[in-house]
Structure 1
Amino acid sequence: METMTTNDSPNSAARSPRILYRQARARDGADQAEVFHHAVMQGAAAHYSVEEREAWAATMPREASVWAARQTLYTTLVATCDGRCVGFLELDVPGAHVHTLYVWPSLARRGIGSTLLLHAERLLLEHGHGRATLDASRMLAESLLRHGWQDLGVEWVTRGGVKLERRRLEKRLSAIET
């Protein structure tokens, strides 16, 4: 699976970087670690306190081997720019659950996360699932609720002794023609 964004036409090359989507490779682990860390520490700054973000970021080490190992647990899709992972999604296909979705903060709100979700939804449909679930941060929930996801309620998780709010979301899947 390797696809380009629709805004990769020659006229848009000066406006935005060329983003390619594909399945993760072990060498993406280091970039995934950095995307996760920066998305939490910088990207979520308007929605979570420093203490909350530090506790959240501490749940996963900034080590490539840990993230590469997770690729054996989840179907991991990545968005790349110039060969570097700038966003990723971890999908539990049998459980129809999006486990993680992170995008490099300076590239947020450009459709990278939405495109990763579209690819995940297609995979779930191909595996016979009619719905998907996702546990979303405050920041992500706001966007997803505007794009067809339904709110199933608030959940609280404890990370490093700090309580973090997240929302349980669900989306009914339907085939789209591309």
Structure 2
Amino acid sequence: MEPADYAELATLFAGTIRQHGPEHYTPAQVEAWAAGAHHSHFVQELAFSHGWVAWHGEQRVGFVTLDDSGHLGLLYVAAGKVRGGIGQALLEQAMLQARELGMSRLEVEASVFSLGLFLKLGFTLIGVERVERGGVAFERHRLERLL
């Protein structure tokens, strides 16, 4: 992941949320979540984490971030490419790199939409928490995986 990727990744992030979020979330939740692409925290997550981008030809089709503490911050796949194996490949790459960096444990907060993928790849649910984005409440799932 390079700084030149950030604007396209923000567009991918918001587009995926707006297209697939309504399957599980209210319109207010979808818009509050998608608006995160325009917050400084989004760029900070990209800039200060290890990150990998999946490409299809010249198009960015997914990305994942991992910080030095073993926290997976972002895992998103382009709206038209969801459920095609890209998210799994990105997550497997992040797990491989985490091992190479000497990490023994990963943690993540997952939406309802991505929960199944994390469980499929051996993550364990350790709790559900309530958070707010733009004044809108969400539930998210806390998971961990030993490496």
- Residue 55 of structure 2 corresponds to which residue in structure 1? 80
- Residue 45 of structure 1 corresponds to which residue in structure 2? 22
Contact 2:62 2:75 in 1 (8 A): yes
Q: Which residue type is aligned with residue 95 of structure 1?
A: S
Q: Structure 1 164/68 Cα, relative in aligned 2: closer, same or farther at 3 Å?
A: closer
1:119 to 86, 90, 93: 93
Q: Structure 1 42/75 Cα, relative in aligned 2: closer, same or farther at 3 Å?
A: same
Q: Structure 1 68/158 Cα, relative in aligned 2: closer, same or farther at 3 Å?
A: closer
Q: Which residue type is aligned with residue 51 of structure 2?
A: T
Distance, in Å, in 1 between the alignment partners of 2:129 and 2:42 is 25
Contact 1:29 1:66 in 2 (8 A): no
Give TM-score scaled by structure 2 length. Answer: 0.92
Question: 1:30 aligned to 2:10?
Answer: no
Shift in Å, 1:123 = 1.1
Equivalent runs, 1:16-165 vs 2, <5 Å: 24-61=1-38, 70-92=45-67, 94-165=68-139
Shift in Å, 1:67 = 5.9
CA RMSD of aligned residues (A): 1.8
User: Structure 1 stretches of 5 or more lacking a match?
Assistant: 1-23, 174-178
Contact 2:110 2:140 in 1 (8 A): yes
Shift in Å, 1:68 = 5.8
Shift in Å, 1:40 = 1.0
Give TM-score scaled by structure 1 length. Answer: 0.76
Bigger Rg, structure 1 or 2: 1
What secondary structure is seen at the aligned counterpart in 1 of 2:24?
Answer: coil
Percent identity, please: 35
- Residue 4 of structure 1 corresponds to which residue in structure 2? none
